[in-house]
């Protein structure tokens, strides 16, 4: 029978040293009970704890860390469907470059500098794959070195030969980069290179049974820092294989397939590439390597990824505070809305587009939208007034005009009672009507 968090805590050192990333041993024990952590993350776990908890404490999909300067996790998932709890570690997006590309420097700069802002989060490319194109090993090594130095990202090696992979691995020591295309024939040598340089392996085989043998061989040798690279040849086969592996890991606790995955996408057609990448993001892909740097494709894939990997139980929120829109002064009006990220970014965007300078007050509403927060008693007149006073709004402005969303016009009286001397204006219901409201009513 699975142990509870409290039972597991009794087996931990109880020093609360935080080295596992949790604030207390109890918090770490709770994660172990939920299979969201690995006992090996506690460096002080006793032999007794290891023998009692053993494999049962491991998450069904083993988490690994990719990259050192900007580390990201792959695996660690505990559910098959996002709505059952949440997906934890998002699909990493990598871009492939060829070692003989005459525009390599410019492409690496594009990859390094790519930034996408969505609901307050800055999204970037996670890794770069370097593919050897031709026989020139020295050129490949130079490209690997340049990629690591220019981007600071994890490098995925497609070396084309064991000797080139070993030489390139030495250049990436301590970066948590990935040696890809590792086959049964060079498994032992690649494991040695990975252990020596602190890298991961992406293991591959012509069929899933052979891949399972490789996975079990590595595990028996005490090496688990790897991901699975399925050798599938069509989109339906990839889709099916990803699902079979993840179901086996989570439903049947089948350890040999309980690892993250890596997939190189190269269909020769940008639309098909995008469809394959979408399949990876929605169906359990660990690292998805795109064949080219295409900002338009990245926008859609990263936005989709953000949606899939957002915790459905925790709305994305912005920090409760008073935000300046434009260059507000003491005569500027105050707008109020909730701290649900989507609401905040839509309202702030419309205010910016209108050209007005104002203050945007965002009280704590537990990430709920306007009507939901009002229904839950988190966006009442007294709640907003209390927040504005705590933020010392009266020391910031003389204008004493506050605009509330049209959907909660019913709180205007309560807000005026709690904010003596202020004029409460009921704004439009839809943010898209803010510009007209500002032109026609506020000015």
* Interface residue list for ligand SF4 (CB under 6 A): 12-13, 15-20, 22, 25, 28, 42, 44
Distance CA 192, CA 118 (A): 41
Residue 9: CB minimum distance to ligand SF4, A? 9
Helices (H) and strands (E) in the chain, counts: 16, 17
Residue 19 or 390: which CB sits closer to ligand SF4? 19
- Which among 281, 275, 288 is positioned nearest to 236, based on CA atoms? 275
How many CA atoms are closer than 13 Å to the CA of 201, on its beta-carbon side?
Answer: 29
Residue 12 or 356: which CB sits closer to ligand SF4? 12
DSSP class of residue 367? Answer: T
Residue 21: CB minimum distance to ligand SF4, A? 8
Residue 313: CB minimum distance to ligand SF4, A? 25
Residue 35: CB minimum distance to ligand SF4, A? 15
Other CB atoms within 10 A of residue 187 CB: 20
Residue 25 or 125: which CB sits closer to ligand SF4? 25
Using alpha carbons only, how large is the chain's radius of gyration in Å?
26
Residue 22 or 147: which CB sits closer to ligand SF4? 22
Residue 37: CB minimum distance to ligand SF4, A? 9
Residue 30: CB minimum distance to ligand SF4, A? 11
Q: Which residues contact 27 (CB under 8 A, 6 or more apart)?
A: none
Distance CA 283, CA 241 (A): 10
The string of DSSP letters for 10-58 reads TTS------TTSSSSHHHHHHHHHTT-S-GGG-TT--HHHHHHHGGGGS
């Amino acid at each position: 029978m699975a142990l509870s968090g409290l039972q597991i805590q009794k087996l931990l050192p109880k020093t609360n040293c935080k080295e596992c990333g949790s604030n207390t041993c109890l918090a770490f024990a709770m994660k172990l009970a939920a299979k969201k952590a690995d006992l090996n993350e506690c460096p002080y776990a006793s032999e007794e704890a290891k023998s009692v908890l053993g494999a049962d404490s491991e998450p069904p999909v083993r988490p690994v860390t990719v990259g050192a300067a900007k580390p990201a996790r792959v695996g660690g998932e505990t559910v098959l469907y996002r709505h059952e709890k949440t997906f934890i570690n998002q699909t990493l997006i990598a871009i492939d470059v060829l070692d003989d590309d005459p525009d390599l420097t410019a492409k690496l700069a594009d990859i390094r500098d790519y930034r996408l802002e969505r609901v307050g989060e800055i999204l970037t490319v996670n890794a770069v794959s370097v593919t050897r194109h031709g026989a020139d090993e020295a050129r490949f090594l130079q490209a690997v070195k340049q990629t690591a130095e220019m981007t600071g990202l994890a490098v995925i090696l497609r070396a084309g030969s064991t000797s080139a992979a070993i030489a390139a691995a030495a250049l990436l020591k301590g970066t948590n980069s990935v040696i890809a295309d590792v086959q049964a024939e060079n498994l032992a040598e690649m494991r040695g290179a990975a252990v020596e340089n602190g890298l991961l392996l992406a293991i591959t085989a012509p069929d899933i049974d052979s891949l399972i043998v490789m996975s079990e061989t590595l595990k028996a040798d005490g090496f688990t820092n790897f991901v699975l690279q399925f050798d599938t040849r069509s989109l339906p086969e990839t889709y099916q294989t990803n699902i079979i592996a993840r179901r086996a890991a989570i439903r049947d606790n089948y350890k040999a397939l309980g690892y993250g995955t890596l997939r190189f996408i190269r269909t020769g057609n940008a639309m098909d590439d995008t469809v394959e990448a979408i399949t990876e993001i929605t169906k359990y892909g660990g690292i998805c390597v795109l064949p080219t740097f295409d900002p338009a494709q990245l926008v859609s894939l990263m936005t989709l990824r953000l949606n899939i990997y957002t915790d459905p139980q925790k709305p994305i929120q912005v920090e409760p505070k008073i935000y300046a829109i434009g260059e507000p002064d003491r005569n500027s009006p105050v707008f109020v809305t909730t701290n649900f990220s989507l609401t905040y970014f839509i309202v702030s965007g419309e205010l910016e587009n209108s050209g007005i300078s104002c203050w945007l007050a965002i009280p704590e509403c537990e990430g709920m939208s306007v009507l939901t927060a009002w229904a839950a008693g988190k966006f009442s007149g007294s709640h907003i007034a209390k927040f504005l006073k705590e933020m010392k709004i009266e020391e910031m402005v003389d204008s004493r005009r506050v605009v509330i969303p049209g959907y909660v016009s019913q709180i205007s009286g309560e807000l005026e009672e709690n904010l003596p001397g202020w004029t409460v204006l009921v704004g439009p219901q839809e943010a898209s009507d803010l510009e007209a409201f500002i032109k026609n009513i506020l000015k």
